[in-house]
Chain A
């Protein structure tokens, strides 16, 4: 059971954390509680309706109660010119908790975001070290991961560009990702009815003979275009078993950072496309060491955050209480370069950040007092 936390107490804790981020050189930023739903839906897809409160404004259309700060903060920053900057924010976010009814649906977040294009490894280390220091008295277990390595691995597979794009698109949906990998590796056959259509079409038959009238927005050209792609796909050789093994090795990789780095270096011999991502990992560890982080005892998990942290595309991290497995992560964060590209409409600015949940910090202290 997560203890209920008094709102004024959590605000005090939140202000303490914000003071800490301000002292680290951040400037204050804020975001409206009511956000236009369209931007968030286009980014996260329909799934977010299950997690965010959607409401209707007669003039503005669908609005959402702010489910996080990162998206509006990035949007403001990109609109304002995308210069290097450090920000901190404090405020409520709102989440429906259908899967975890015991968790609060309204809670505070205090965040720190760093926009910086000079040295990404150093920026990653700065943000991680800052959160580690802010929560240092709590004895939390850190977790780290790196989507950059997963993305580089997909890029390096002997697959056609459409197949690689399909894997990239579903990197954050492990079930669908797994199905695609198995199909590309020849371990899953195409569905028979569609396979027959593709085969007949490839052999010069008219696929539309029995299709009935064309209705709806999706045109004949789009249907035939996809059939062309399916014919090309059916002719593609399967992903070599050795590469599948490498990919699985990477996805399952879980070790302390130095040992993980060592394994990734070994894999790079067979998958050279990993090289620059592994180099970045190494530079990050160096930058972390320089900031006093004990990287020898820092866990690394290549798949960390694959189901929850959907806009991250590089370094990711989280802090959890090892003695209270029922609590959500007290802090999470990561790098989201691609998000700045999407929201920047032509501009981009590498960025990394994270947020703490002050109520969870207090809940942890309370639980430990009563333990």
Chain B
């Protein structure tokens, strides 16, 4: 009879999450040695801290193995089909901002919008005999965006890192990746399409939809959501 709260297990995302809850009267901290993934909660009874990789939190929420979880809104949308059937957004947390964007080489002066990209893709396929390649690790988000926009004649190629380098390395013609300042894009001679923001992501507190709550758990949840809705200071 505890409410399980999943939180990113390391790095700035974890620290900022701890700060955010701290400012709302809930103290989260890691316990044991620095390398041990265990934690404790003070300020609200009956909540158990579960430290997880941010990218696994969407799956754990969808399965109902944790009741609440903190992760990027981009990860939830990428990892879960029909994400809003599985989780509810409780609070956007105001940090971990990152935009998933579509970028093309700056030398493509004829391409400024997603519509230009579509038309360039048609010409590219006719010229090169294969569909224009877009490197990304956000397959679902990018595909759904391009489908909604009616873009054709492209293919997604998987890139798990150094995505900005794929164009120069001739393994892709365009990219879809997360950026916060755009500096890496500029350094790699890429530009963002003027209507090419696919999703504006930030760290968000989610609630699992597929959980049956006991009366006691429901009470804990209500207390916790009341507290996080209003910062102490």
Binding site for B on A (CB under 8 A): 41-42, 45-47, 49-50, 98-99, 101, 166, 169-170, 173, 175-177, 179, 191, 193-194, 197-198, 207-208, 211-218, 220, 222-223, 225-227, 230
A-B pairs with lowest CB-CB distance, top 4:
A176-B150, A194-B112, A173-B150, A98-B81
Option from B115, B122, B195 in Cβ contact (under 8 Å) with A169 = B122
Q: Is A223's CB under 8 angstroms from B107's CB?
A: yes
Q: Total A-B pairs in contact (CB under 8 Å)?
A: 114
User: Which residue of chain A has its CB nearest to the CB of B85?
Assistant: A101
List residues of chain B with CB within 8 A of the CB of A101.
82
Instruction: Note all chain A residues with C-beta closer than 8 A to B123.
Output: 222, 225-226
Known: A46-B154, A173-B150; 11 extra A-B contacts, CB below 8 A, are A46-B131, A49-B139, A49-B156, A173-B152, A191-B116, A193-B112, A211-B107, A214-B107, A216-B107, A222-B123, A230-B110
Chain A residues in 8 Å Cβ range of B154 = 45-46
Q: Is the CB of B167 within 8 A of A216?
A: yes
B112 x A191 contact (CB < 8 A): yes
Q: Given A208-B109, A211-B107, A218-B105, does the pair A166, B119 have CB atoms closer than 8 Å?
A: yes
Interface membership of B84, Cβ < 8 A: no
Contacts A98-B82, A166-B119; A217 near B170 (Cβ below 8 A): yes
| Distance in angstroms between the alpha carbons of A99 and B143 in the assembled complex | 14
Q: Give the contacting residue for B115; candidates A179, A198, A208; CB below 8 A.
A: A179
Question: Size range of the interface on B?
Answer: 35 or more
CA distance A45 to B130 in the complex (A): 11
| Of A46, A175, A197, the contact of B110 (CB 8 Å cutoff) | A197
Within 8 A of A (CB), among B171-197: 172-173, 189, 194-195
- Whether B189 pairs with A213 at a CB distance below 8 angstroms is yes
Chain A residues whose C-beta falls within 8 Å of the C-beta of B35 in the assembled complex: none
- Whether B143 and A216, one on each chain, are in contact in the complex, defined by CB atoms closer than 8 angstroms, is no
In the assembly, what is the distance between CA of A216 and CA of B123, in Å? 15
29 CB-based A-B contacts, threshold 8 Å:
A45-B131, A46-B143, A46-B156, A47-B147, A49-B143, A50-B143, A50-B144, A169-B152, A176-B115, A176-B118, A191-B116, A193-B112, A194-B113, A208-B107, A211-B106, A211-B107, A212-B105, A212-B106, A213-B107, A214-B105, A215-B167, A217-B128, A218-B124, A222-B120, A223-B109, A226-B120, A226-B123, A227-B109, A227-B110
Q: Is the CB of B124 within 8 A of A222?
A: yes
Residues of the B chain whose Cβ atoms lie less than 8 Å from the Cβ of A230:
110
A191 touches B194 (CB 8 A): yes
Of chain B, the residue at the smallest CB distance from A200 is B109
B binding-site residues for A, Cβ under 8 Å: 81-82, 105-113, 115-116, 118-120, 122-124, 127-128, 131, 139-140, 143-144, 146-156, 167-168, 170, 172-173, 189, 194-195
Contact B173–A218 (Cβ < 8 Å)? yes
Known: A191-B112, A213-B189. A46 touches B107 (CB 8 A): no
Q: How far is the CB of B151 from chain A (nearest CB, A)?
A: 8
Alpha-carbon distance between A55 and B81 when the two chains are bound, in angstroms: 19
Closest chain A residue to B172, Cβ basis:
A216
| Docked-complex contact A194 and B168, CB < 8 angstroms | no
- Which residue among B108, B110, B150, B194 has the maximum number of chain A CB atoms within 10 Å of its CB? B110
B152 adjacent to A194 (CB under 8 Å): no
Q: State in angstroms the CA–CA spacing of A42 and B155 once bound together.
A: 9
Inter-chain contacts of B146 with A (CB < 8 A): 46
User: How many whole Å from B38's CB to the nearest CB in chain A?
Assistant: 36
Identity of the chain B residue whose Cβ is nearest the Cβ of A174 in the assembled complex? B150
- B residues less than 8 Å from A176 (CB atoms): 115, 118, 149-151
Asked whether A170 and B152 contact (CB < 8 A) given A191-B113, A194-B112, A217-B128, the answer is yes
B109 touches A216 (CB 8 A): no
Q: How far is the CB of B139 from chain A (nearest CB, A)?
A: 8
Which residues in B have their C-beta under 8 angstroms from that of A47? 143, 147
Determine which of A45, A207, A215, A226 lies in contact with B105 in the assembled complex, contact meaning CB atoms within 8 Å.
A215
Known contacts A47-B143, A177-B150; A193 and B194 CB within 8 A of each other: yes
A100 vs chain B, min Cβ distance (A): 10
Of listed B107, B172, B173, residue having the most chain A CB within 10 A: B107
Question: In the complex, which residue of chain B has the Cβ closest to the Cβ of A180?
Answer: B115
List B contacts of A218 (CB < 8 A).
105, 108, 120, 124, 173
B136 smallest CB distance to A (angstroms): 11
CB distance from B153 to the nearest CB of A (A): 7
Cβ-closest chain A residue relative to B147: A47
**Shortest beta-carbon distance, A63 to chain B, in Å?**
16
Cβ–Cβ contact B127 & A222, under 8 A? yes
Residue pair A50, B147 in contact (C-beta under 8 Å)? yes
Please report the C-alpha to C-alpha distance between residue A99 and residue B81 in the assembled complex, in whole angstroms: 8
A269-B37 Cα distance, complex, nearest whole Å: 77
